[in-house]
Structure 1
Amino acid sequence: MPRWLPLPSIPYPPEKVGYWGPITSTLNWCEEDYYATVYSAEIVNALTNLMFMWLGVKGIRNCRRYGHDSIFSVAYCGYLVVGAGSFLFHSTLKYPMQLVDELSMIYTTCLMCYASFSYSRSFTVRLALAVFLTGLAVFITLYYHYLQDPVFHQNAYALLTTVVVLRSMFTMEATLRPSLRHSTEADRLMRQRQGLPVPSKERQSYENERDLKILRSMWFMVAYGLSMFLGGFAIWNLDNHFCSTLRVWRRTIGLPWGIALEGHGWWHLMTGMGAYLYIIWGIWLRHCLNNQQEEYYLWWPHFWNFPEIIRKGSGENTIQDTEQAKKSR
């Protein structure tokens, strides 16, 4: 331990022969293999996936508890499989586990794509969309298995994610921005002249203010989630490009402090949070599309908490929940 680091530490153990045998994956990350235990090839990269698994279970339970649409329960199942697959991949560095890890990311994003584009569509359109996305997922699976090129998977995942996020942004603005959904005073008067149902001026003003408040919270969530994704991606790239230097630094400062320099582990934590925020955003947006802003609210007292969409009057609200509900009215 260098003298300028007064904290106690222990030296990194040497790499061992792994329980899972020879490495067959096409990727191997910067964390040294089997240094902590023979049962986990990359223990930090494996354990950081426990957050995925915990949040996946939490999300499934919340969907059942608060009556969120079933498509989001399926999405949380996919999110859980991503975490479990990544845990097994980093524990074993076996090619089949690599496929479970990487392809489950594609499948979960396809589910969110369906949720984003299928709302209020006819049965024919929803069926065509489901067939298209299933075919796309099968094509990516077979072509990736043929190429075995991680860059193809990364580009496919990035493209799908970009499409889904941009679509959700458009839907959010079109649904909640008063000037885009014809909820201004001029639109109200026009509907009145045409003999169409018109809410009172006070009611319209209240709804506009409510939805703008929701919109601001959603944009903060989007910005925060994207920052987590991009920050994790930047750390992951630093981990790839400066791996040899980072390994020297980790062995210099010793355990447990060297764990903080495991860049791929940070990628798991940050993208896990970003993906969780995206599903929460999707749930809240779906309730707004269903005109249920009065029935559900966002519980997120601090940015370091894991937010939830909660049904008002569910009987399970804490004092903090009640206060949050008052603020959202």
Structure 2
Amino acid sequence: MRRYAFRVCLGGKSVESRALLAILPPCPMASTAVDLAFEDFLKELPGDDAEMAHAFKAFARPRKLKTPAHLLQVVMLSCGLDQALRPAAGSFRRLAERITDTAIHQRLRACGPWLKALLHTLLPATKSTLTSLRLPIVDGSSLQGPGAAGTDDRVHLALDLTHMTLHAVDVTGVDGGESLTRSPWQAGDIVLADRGYNQPRVILDLFARDVGAIVRLNLTAMPLFVRPGEADVFDHAAVRFDVAAHLCAQSRDTLSLPVWLRASGAVSGPGWLHAVRLPPEAAEGARRRCRQAAQRKGRTPREATLFLVGWVMAFTTVPPRRCMAPRYWRSTVAAG
């Protein structure tokens, strides 16, 4: 039940939403069974949830939705069962009264502060050392309209993991590529991103503004050079770092190494390479997928490539003392 509350506040897709299926079975179905499931859900809420709905202006006066409980039922249909606005309107009509998808959209937009307040009452307070910084995670997705032969638009999102809020949204055309420059950052932010954001010049520009980055490493896009110890001035005689050779010589399962990142225009900056060896079964699965992908393109993967896919690697400009390596970055690598 509490995982459901967490899911509602996010309003996005997550594994937590599946916990709701045991509470409210998918529509259509008999209204009696749905009502019973919803009554069980209401018992988990604080006694003042209706008053909170009025206080946070999520519920102003009874119209199609007669009570705050009706509003919660709409939230469950849309956010919990992931129904689109029109199916949610149809489901609610079977349960209570006719309502349009536009009306549901307007009411859901007003629910955010109320649902967050409910979440704080349902979940125990946690002590975190991350409340003083923002930890945004960035990703993009493509959109296709009905009958489209390819991508119509791209949506670029930044979610603040520290406060579980949406930080930025950018919608572009098909030519809008992934970039960390699409969102506004402030000094002290630590941005998490996947391999599509391996852009050395952008990462170094953010570093100059005291904005850290942690990205899943794509070695072909990120020129890494050997950095002795904690040197803070780039040595132009530095040699390219052979990641495969270095990891092959290691017996440890986790590594943290200082490196230089080099970008076009003779721009460079310090960084750290973090690597985690995959378990044997996971590593073999990764190598199998690598071979299959290469075969589809008529290629044969190199031995070094097959070795490297047995590791999860991340590059960051955040010093280990700040991100509490290896425990902190190991979790962020999984998120990326």
Q: TM-score, length-normalised on structure 2?
A: 0.22
Bigger relative contact order (CA 8 A; separation at least 6): 1
> Structure 1 length normalisation: TM-score?
0.22
The structure richer in strand per residue is 2
Q: Which has the higher helix share?
A: 1
